[in-house]
Chain A
Amino acid sequence: MSEPVLRIRDLAVSFGGRRVVDGVSLEVAAGECVAIVGESGSGKSVSARSVLGLAGEGARVTATELTVAGEPVLGLPGRRLRRLRGGTVGFIAQDALVSLDPLRPVGREIGDTLALHTDLGAAARRERTLELLRRVGLDDPELRARQRPGQLSGGQRQRALIAAGIAGEPRLVIADEPTTALDQPVQAGVLRLLGELRDEGTGVLLISHDLSVVRGVADRVLVMTDGVLVEEGTPAEVFEHPHHPYTKALVAAVPAGRPRGTRLSAPPTDSAAERRDDRSSGAGTPTTPTLDDPATGVLMEVHGVRRVFHVGARDIVAADDVSFTLRARRTLGLVGESGSGKSTTARILLGLEPPDAGAVTLLGEPWSPLPEKARRTRRPLVGAVFQDALSSFDPRWTVGAVLADALTRGRTVRPGRVRREITELLGTVGLDPDVADRRPLHLSGGQRQRVSIARALTGDPRVLVLDEPVSALDVSVQAQVLDLLDRLQRERDLAYLLITHDLGVALHMSDEIAVLQEGRIVERGPASSVFADPQHPYARRLRDAVRP
């Protein structure tokens, strides 16, 4: 096999003495796709970026060998390095919305690459730009070239970003979490595109935290944690027969395709990130599955709810004749792309948004629409867990203050008692009592989400509305949180409305799943069967996306 486009030997990166990458060695051959899998803080991105000399401010990068297409990168003078960047090595970052200059048309961004690495004239550049856009599968390139990231859909702009990445006809493409911000169906498309690149002989170094993403495209998978590579092999090997415990945990943590009630999280000592987080134990073993009891009481009913927003001149239908029922110990998974009206539905359930038509009843009595005052007394019955936990806490309040506030809800309670209840509460969500004195800002993502769950539990709710409760979390942390939610549901007979764009999560957590598109429920049924034979084309697309 020919000279690999990338060869790394004993790469080490440290920031001010703190070592984040240690002794990483890998090769990427032309026409090969190598994937590094790991969670945030594992050092995978830093390793990849140091290939471009972009490890970051104040990074010390050493390696016995670090060559791109035979050319050593380390100590390369600025100009040469810049020719390498974008020329020999293309870079594709995550979330084009921010990775492309939001103020400039995507065409310009591609044109810049061309201007830097080709000697094409302006006219020729324009031509090439359109070609590239066509190449990455964008319809109507002339229009797209003139549009800005904000005006493109997630998939479109990610494709545009790729176009900009490959414009310099690089021999190696580094894709850092290229699909993370995208809805699953779109992800598939983008991954297919990367696959094509590889087939054309470009070397691809794919960075991702999501095993399911890697699976389809990668020829070889490297698992990374705490700055070291712990496992290497073909996807099949790594996923079917993981050797290293961390890999095991990681694989175990993937919710997709795991039956309802299966414990996902691994024992704490193995979990690299979020070590403090986990209090539960007994990994891997399937816990008792929920007994399917039809007699469980109906808690919340949604009847033909409709909500329309008037933005400027045009109307946006966020919810249209949405109806469903929430039962105790049952989870309804509400899935759909971003903008499909999931969150609006949640807000209506929470009584934050009045429906234009239809109604919501709680325990048989009207809940929404109602004047806020009439609702207030029964507010404790409905709890909410928000997607972005951090911004759902007043930045000036400590965790203790947040919980105390939620516990008392204006009633005057003896401080000692509040304190005790807080400790108790933190215990239930698996946090140390001392967390109470810290500010959310200084907690890890997982801890924050646990705190917001704790807040949701104050006042013994019957219904919890979970709006993307885990989408911001790493897979292993996500596993722990999901387990926690599962446990709580069974302990407290809670009814869940689980809103997520991640079908894997939905399938794992839900008894029933409703597929939402443009505000309408287009498909619904038992989690087990809903995707067996989807009727609606959109549902079908979703199904294809999650099929391993």
Chain B
Amino acid sequence: MSGVGRSGAGRRAAGFRPTVAEALAGLVLVLLLVAAIWPGLLAPGDPLAVSRTEAFQPPSLAHVFGTDESGRDIWTRVVHGAAESLRIGALATAIGIGLATVLGLLAGLGPRWLDFGTTRLVEVLFAFPGLLLALLFIVVTGPGVLSSTIAVGLATAPGYARIIRSQVRRTASAEFVEAARVLGRGRVWIVTRHVLPNVTAALFVLATLGLGQAVIWVSSLSYLGLGAVPPAAEWGAMLAAGRTYIASFWWMTFFPGLAIVAAAAAATVLGRGIQKRNRSAS
């Protein structure tokens, strides 16, 4: 995105060559994926290995990111946390968007009354502060990674639902849909072959944008003591835990925070990139 110049350069850059920022973002995501799939490659250590004598050590050659209150190596934890955090982010987003797609399609394609009903429902969910939805869900199911993930999914669904609905509406009234009707295509065919695929493109963008947010959401829940269960090396939990010591040991929050920001930012950059290309392609 930062490659986007002022007048038109953005549109022109919408050829399929990635911008500098997008290249960087890609690199970050690749690293994250590696960390998520083979954490051992980047950090051979055990993220849970407690070493009381090494507690609260500032970044050094031995511990690039320093150590936390139990002398666990933060670099190792950040790397090994990637899987957990990304899974949380991905799952939450998936749930949110999945739910939203159903609602959005119902509203976008169904008859007026269904649209009205669904829109109202979405509005109800929307009227809830997202965090409250999450809180309620968690106190019902009890805290933990899974429940807070689902909670975040729930909390973010209404927002997605709105976007999807409008997207569906737009596509359904597009001229190429009319063209299909002239060719004698039926409703179902049009939905499956034209509407859905075109919406999916938008969904993908939403997903990338949502992923980072989901991680942040979960971290906020961890701060409220409702997030990941210790000693899981999950970024949000680390961030929340280290925060108590922020005055004395900055690195305990800085690096997990950095990871979150990097992940979210990278995802967003790519998301916007794809979006840009979609738009210029339609």
Residues on A lying within 8 angstroms of B by beta carbon are 56-57, 350-352, 372, 375-377, 379-380, 382-384, 386, 388, 391-396, 405-406, 409-410, 439, 441, 452, 455, 458-459
Contacts and interface: CB of A to CB of B under 8 A. Distances in A.
A352 B178 contact: yes
Interface string B1-43: 0000111110000000000000000000000000000000000
Q: What 5 pairs between A and B have smallest CB-CB spacing?
A: A379-B184, A395-B282, A391-B175, A376-B184, A57-B7
Given A350-B182, A384-B182, A396 B281 contact: yes
10 contacts: A57-B5, A376-B186, A379-B183, A384-B179, A384-B182, A386-B178, A392-B175, A409-B185, A410-B189, A439-B281
Contacts of A396: 197-198, 201, 281-282
A395 B198 contact: yes
A405 B183 CA distance: 9
B224 interface: no
Contacts of B198: 394-396
Given A410-B189, A441-B281, A57 B8 contact: yes
A351 B178 CA distance: 10
B95 to A, nearest CB: 26
A409 B183 contact: yes
A394 B194 contact: yes
B179 A392 contact: yes
Contacts of B182: 350-352, 379, 382-384
Given A380-B184, A391-B174, A395-B176, 18 more contacts: A56-B7, A57-B6, A57-B8, A352-B181, A372-B181, A372-B186, A379-B182, A384-B182, A386-B175, A392-B175, A394-B197, A394-B198, A395-B198, A396-B197, A396-B282, A410-B189, A452-B179, A459-B183
Contact of A392 (B8, B176, B186, B282): B176
By size class, the interface of chain B is 20 to 34
B13 to A, nearest CB: 12
Contacts of A395: 176, 198, 281-282
A29 B261 CA distance: 62
Q: In this complex, which of B6, B175, B182 has the most chain A Cβ atoms within 10 angstroms of its Cβ? A: B182
B184 A409 contact: yes
Contact of A393 (B176, B181, B183): B176
Contacts of B194: 394
- The majority secondary structure among interface residues of chain B is helix
Contacts of B6: 57
A376 B198 CA distance: 25
A20 B259 CA distance: 48
Contacts of B176: 391-395
A458 B179 CA distance: 13
Interface string B266-282: 00000000000000111
Most buried by A among B6, B174, B175, B184: B184
A388 B176 CA distance: 10
B189 to A, nearest CB: 7
Contacts of A386: 175, 178-179
Nearest to A391: B175
A452 B194 CA distance: 17
A398 B120 CA distance: 39
A392 B182 CA distance: 11
Contacts of A372: 181, 186
A452 B182 CA distance: 12
B204 to A, nearest CB: 12
A439 B197 CA distance: 16
B215 to A, nearest CB: 30
Contacts of B197: 394, 396
Contacts of B186: 372, 376
A350 B197 CA distance: 26
B183 A392 contact: no
A394 B280 CA distance: 13
Contacts of A393: 176, 179
Contacts of A409: 183-185
